[in-house]
Amino acid sequence: MSFVRFGVNSIKYPDLLSLYTWIGAWIEGRMELEYWDPVTGLPDQLVLTATHAGLVLGAIMLVFAALATWSFAKRDAA
């Protein structure tokens, strides 16, 4: 697990890469992510709303649907 976290240490909000964060924000309607600046010690907050989460999850579903359609069309043409 440490080698995975090694690459995301430079990202301000690494939880944005998790699908569970977006699903949780969509179900709950709102999710707050916090980032504590190591230099100043002050928190920075990012708020995800159900609208943002719905758009991201919808885009992911569209990408998977397009890939499935392309895969079936490629298979049937062969």
For residue 49, the model assigns a pLDDT of: 95
Instruction: Please give, one letter per residue, the 3-state secondary structure of 42-71.
Output: CEEEEEEEHHHHHHHHHHHHHHHHHHHHHH
For residue 6, the model assigns a pLDDT of: 55
One digit per residue, the tens of pLDDT, for the chain of length 78 reads 455 555 556 778 888 889 999 999 999 999 999 888 878 888 889 999 999 999 999 999 999 999 999 998 877 765
Q: How far apart are CA 13 and CA 17, in angstroms?
A: 8
